[in-house]
Each structure stands twice: as structure tokens, then as C-alpha cells.
Structure 1
Amino acid sequence: MSIEYVWTTPTDERARPLIDDLARDYDERYGDNDGIPSSYELYRYPAELFSPAQGGAFLLLLEDGRTVAGGAYKRVDEVTAEVKRVWTARTDRRRGLSRTVMAALEAEALRVGYSRIELTTGARQPEAHALYLALGYVPQFDLGADFEEIGYLEFTKELQASSAT
């Protein structure tokens, strides 16, 4: 089976599996924050921020027309993009699709002029921590600290033509 790369927007109907599953996952892992479901995070940013016109990008990976993975970035400043919404369908995990998404996002960010990526993940997402460390992202926190006390775990990576993983 071949993977199709689709650069689109969060409002694309094919993005629905990504958004719905991330919402479910955030709510299961983190519950409510001050009475607000953790999935609210997915709606905090307008869809336009992930469009090329606003310095962003939104990628879906499709296999036989089915959304299997995706991710996005939005502009932080002239040199920095923030990666958001990296996801792989439950039935398609352990296939390297998140690595594929990250490589595509990094390459696109570099192509449009970004030289730095930052991202944040939650304390209860060990698979994300492992992925970002394996891809050369530098933690902006003490790896030996209590992740629950830190809460949001920030990572950065300087992009170079040869480093887009």
C-alpha cells in the first residue's frame, strides 16, 4: 500500500479522524482542567493559522483513501514554527508513520524558510517524549524531573538542510 501526502486544512473532512481521536485521547489521558475538557486545546487556534497564507501547514497521510496519520505546524515568528496535532490512527501505530509526518513537517518548514521548530507535549504521553528525543529534539526541561509537576514538556530543534528527519 502506498501513502499519499495531502497538504490541507484542519477543516478538511478527511482530518476528522485525527481531530476526533486526539480529542478522545486528550480527554482520556488528562480529563478536565478547571472544568474544561482537555480536548478544548484542539480548538484553541483558528484553522487559518495552519494555512500556508498564515505561515502554517497541515498534513494528512492517507492510505487507500483512509486517514492514517497527520500533523501540523503554525508560525511562531519569522524563523520558528510550532508543531501541533501529530497523530497516528490506533490501528496503524508502530509503523513509523509519526516519524514520516515529522520528517515531512520539518522538510516543509525548512523549505518555506523556518530554521527552528518548537513543540509541546503533555506529561502523560511517553510515546511522544520518546519520538521527539529520538528525532533529535532538545528538551527544554530536566529529563530527570517529575513530568507531572512540569505539565507541558517543551522541545526545540534547529533545522538544517541535512537535519530534516
Structure 2
Amino acid sequence: MSTMTLPAAALTASANFVHLEAGDPLAVELAASFLAEESARGGAAAARYLESDPREYETWLGGAWIGLRQPDGSPAAGAAYRRYDPTTAELAQLWTRPELRRNGVARKVLAHLEFLAERSGYDRLYAVAEPGHDVLREFLRAAGYQALGDESLEYLGFVKALPRSDYLPHPLS
């Protein structure tokens, strides 16, 4: 089955994010795409995801899961966070369709997720870049995340303080 891919600028112009729960069809498709890519890369993230409970990302447990669809309904990008501790959310499953990468799609997904985390009361967002994820390390640095250790570490944590304010304009407005 052929999937039409809309140019990234057109895709994110309207930024129709879908808030997901574990059983939503888009959530299942995004997870499958993420797992296929991680498995091909040999990344441990796929194994950890399979061992986790997808409900960890649901709102009622302090998490959030968002997806972005293409006009044909296929997944374009998505990401999730789950509660790490009372003040910190852990970023997980940041994925963008390969042909849409390096066009600002992931940045908009991350900005929306950061907005949701701040609105949910979190003070910071935490992420881990695993071995072989140099592009993720670069992406997180460019998005304002600070490395939590020596850059030579195989598993390198990153953290970003989220803005605290009574009124935070939505990043896409």
C-alpha cells in the first residue's frame, strides 16, 4: 500500500495533534513504527517498550501521548511522556516518519509535548539517548536540553527545565 507524504511545512502548518490513549489505532501504528525502526537499529528502547505497560503514558497516570496524522490517516510523527517523579516527566517514543525528518516536524511535536507537560504541572522533562542515537543527542541539545554527564557515556541523560507561568502561549500560536 502506497502512502502519500505531505511536505513537512504543510503537515505542521495546521498541527492537528491527536491526544492518544493506549488502545487508539494511531497509538498502535505509532508504536509499531517506532518499534520497527528501533529493532532494525538494534536499540534497547524497543525491548524496554515491549516490557513496559503502554498505559504509563495515559493522562490519568500523569502521562501524555500525542500523534500527528498525514491527510491519508497514516502516522507522521508522535511522542509521549510518562511520570518519572512528582516534578519530572520522561520523554519517550519521539518518532517522525523518515522522509519528514529535518523539516521541523519533530521540533513541533516536542514543543507541543513540552507545553502539555508544563500544563500538567511538571517542572522539567527528562530524556535518555541510547548508544547509536547521535541524531537524538544533537536534536535534544538543539532543543535546549542539557546533558547530565560526560558525553562519552553510552546512555546519556538530558533534562530541560520547563517554563513556569500562569499564562504560557501555545508553541504553535
TM-score, normalising length from structure 1?
A: 0.84
Distance 1:17 1:89, change over 3 A: farther
Tell me which residue corresponds to 2:48: 41
- Using the TM superposition, give the Cα deviation of residue 151 of structure 1 relative to its aligned residue in structure 2, in angstroms: 2.4
Tell me which residue corresponds to 2:6: none
Tell me which residue corresponds to 2:95: 87
- How many residues get paired? 155
For the residues of structure 2 that align with 1:122 and 1:13, how far apart are their CA atoms?
A: 28
Contact 2:20 2:26 in 1 (8 A): no
- Using the TM superposition, give the Cα deviation of residue 39 of structure 1 relative to its aligned residue in structure 2, in angstroms: 2.2
Could you tell me which amino acid in structure 2 is paired with residue 113 of structure 1? Answer: G
Aligned partner (choices 33, 49, 61) of residue 54 of structure 1? 61
Does 1:102 find its partner at 2:105? no
Residue deviations 1:63-107 (CA, integer Å, cap 9, x gap): 212210000000012111000000001122222111011101100
Could you tell me which amino acid in structure 2 is paired with residue 40 of structure 1? Answer: A
Tell me which residue corresponds to 1:155: 158
Tell me which residue corresponds to 2:7: none
Q: How does 1:1-165 map to 2 (within 5 A)?
A: 1=10, 2-30=14-42, 39-64=46-71, 65-143=73-151, 145=152, 150-161=153-164
For the residues of structure 2 that align with 1:117 and 1:67, how far apart are their CA atoms?
A: 24
Could you tell me which amino acid in structure 1 is paired with residue 63 of structure 2? Answer: G
For the residues of structure 2 that align with 1:3 and 1:158, how far apart are their CA atoms?
A: 24
For the residues of structure 1 that align with 2:95 and 2:17, how far apart are their CA atoms?
A: 14
- Greater strand percent: which structure? 1
- Using the TM superposition, give the Cα deviation of residue 44 of structure 1 relative to its aligned residue in structure 2, in angstroms: 2.4
Could you tell me which amino acid in structure 1 is paired with residue 46 of structure 2? Answer: S
Could you list the runs of 5+ residues in structure 2 that have no partner in the other structure? 1-9
Q: CA RMSD in A?
A: 2.1
Could you list the runs of 5+ residues in structure 1 that have no partner in the other structure? none
Runs of 4 or more above 4 Å deviation: none
- Using the TM superposition, give the Cα deviation of residue 5 of structure 1 relative to its aligned residue in structure 2, in angstroms: 0.5
SS at match of 2:125: strand
Q: Percent identity over the alignment?
A: 29
TM-score, normalising length from structure 2?
A: 0.81
Residue deviations 1:116-165 (CA, integer Å, cap 9, x gap): 1111121201211111000110111212x2xxxx3222101111147x97
